[in-house]
Structure 1
Amino acid sequence: MAVAPRDLRRMLGSFASGVTVVTYPLPDGGAGGITVNAFTSVSLDPPLVLVSVHRASRANRHLGSVPFTVNILAAGQRDLALHFSGQLRRPLVDWCRERPSPRLADCLGYVDCLPWARSDGGDHVLHLGRVVDVGPGSGEPLVFYRGGFTGLAPSTDRPAVRTPQGVPARDGPSRRYPGPNGGVP
């Protein structure tokens, strides 16, 4: 039995994910970027991460041959997510022109990568990057869930859960941030 792409997309939308913008240098000295929510760590030794990018995107012409940065967006950076997905053209982008790749300013964190490998992923291309630098920011993450952006709300009725590394984990209800046209961007 074949699964309809629409049904698969709807079901996968129930898996909340962080929102990133993958940035990279352009041959003319400029910077490009694409909004990506399919990002994951792959290996600690060697340090590798993976981003999945639609095959038809302009980013695929560059990723795989140039350094790139995975910018983890904070809750207040919804306009950047929309801008780099081609849905919003008005925000001014604050760039940090550091090497090896341009970064977005004031993100929740960043992961600088050198191309490691790329692989066929159907209508997407899977880009593995070797991590060469990381930097944490502060704040709450921007989250993508069921076709919209949301954030984390602190839990007031129970203590924070601690991970094995001793880092507090947030546990609590989400709140939706309305997109254009009342909710769905």
Structure 2
Amino acid sequence: MDARKFRNCVGHFATGVTVITCETETGTHGLTANSFTSVSLDPMLVLVSVDRNAKALNTLKNNKFIVNVLQVDQQDTAMHFAGRPKESLPFEWEDGKLGKRIKNSLAFIECEPWAAYDGGDHVLFLGEVKNFEYHTGQPLLYYCGQFSEIAAK
């Protein structure tokens, strides 16, 4: 089977866009991820899948992290953390309970590390939810390799 064709196939599943942030001795780090899901309500657990070649992989190991669910107008923020930064930051930081989070995101989920698992060419990080917050708005979506948004009814 062809890996590229499989990637195109799973790309037909529309997802939200998140930025995962965490703190280290050198500051706040983050990465854009659309491979995120809720896992359990008791205990509250979420999962983030991170490519083994991602620069942020080592910063997430055994570290608290925050899932920032992006709004439709935060495409530049997604691109910034996907390795295409702008000259000036397209977002503002705000303090959360477990680190810095992206101001005006649609939702925040702050997590303590729970477990990490081998996921082939990815590592699957489970986090135990310690704090969350959500707001009204439209999510930034990713579909077939492009940003998208929900169509009006």
> Shared fold (TM-score greater than 0.5)?
yes
Match of 1:140 in 2: 138
Structure 1 runs not aligned, ≥5 long: 156-185
Q: Which whole-Å CA distance do the structure 1 matches of 2:113 and 2:61 have between them?
A: 5
* Deviation string, structure 1 residues 60-114 (Cα, Å, up to 9, x no partner): 1111322100000000000001110002333413001222121000000010000
The answer on 1:43 being equivalent to 2:40 is yes
Query: Could you say which structure has the higher strand fraction?
Result: 2
Q: Which has the higher contact order (CA 8 A, sep 6+)?
A: 2
> TM-score when scaled to structure 2?
0.95
Q: Which whole-Å CA distance do the structure 1 matches of 2:10 and 2:77 have between them?
A: 23
Where 2:63 maps in the other structure, the secondary structure is coil
Cα contact 2:67–2:108 (8 A) shared by 1: yes
Where 2:56 maps in the other structure, the secondary structure is helix
The answer on 1:88 being equivalent to 2:66 is no
CA-CA distance at 1:145 after TM superposition:
0.2
Cα contact 1:64–1:116 (8 A) shared by 2: no
CA 1:147–1:53: 2 relative to 1, 3 Å: same
Match of 2:129 in 1: 131
Match of 2:14 in 1: 16
Q: Which whole-Å CA distance do the structure 2 matches of 1:91 and 1:127 have between them?
A: 30
> TM-score when scaled to structure 1?
0.79
* Deviation string, structure 1 residues 137-166 (Cα, Å, up to 9, x no partner): 2210000000000111220xxxxxxxxxxx
Matched pairs, number? 152
Q: Which whole-Å CA distance do the structure 2 matches of 1:41 and 1:95 have between them?
A: 24
Q: Write the letter of the residue equivalent to 2:4.
A: R
Structure 2 runs not aligned, ≥5 long: none
**Which residue of the other structure, out of 65, 71, 75, is the alignment partner of 1:74?**
71
Where 2:61 maps in the other structure, the secondary structure is coil
Q: Which whole-Å CA distance do the structure 2 matches of 1:124 and 1:91 have between them?
A: 31
Where 1:82 maps in the other structure, the secondary structure is helix
Residue identity (%): 43
My pick for the range that moved more, 62-71 or 128-137, is 62-71
Q: Which whole-Å CA distance do the structure 2 matches of 1:65 and 1:73 have between them?
A: 24
The answer on 1:58 being equivalent to 2:64 is no
Q: Which whole-Å CA distance do the structure 2 matches of 1:118 and 1:91 have between them?
A: 34
Q: Write the letter of the residue equivalent to 2:74.
A: Q
CA 1:15–1:91: 2 relative to 1, 3 Å: farther
Over alpha carbons, which structure has the higher Rg?
1
Q: Write the letter of the residue equivalent to 1:151.
A: E
Cα contact 2:97–2:131 (8 A) shared by 1: no
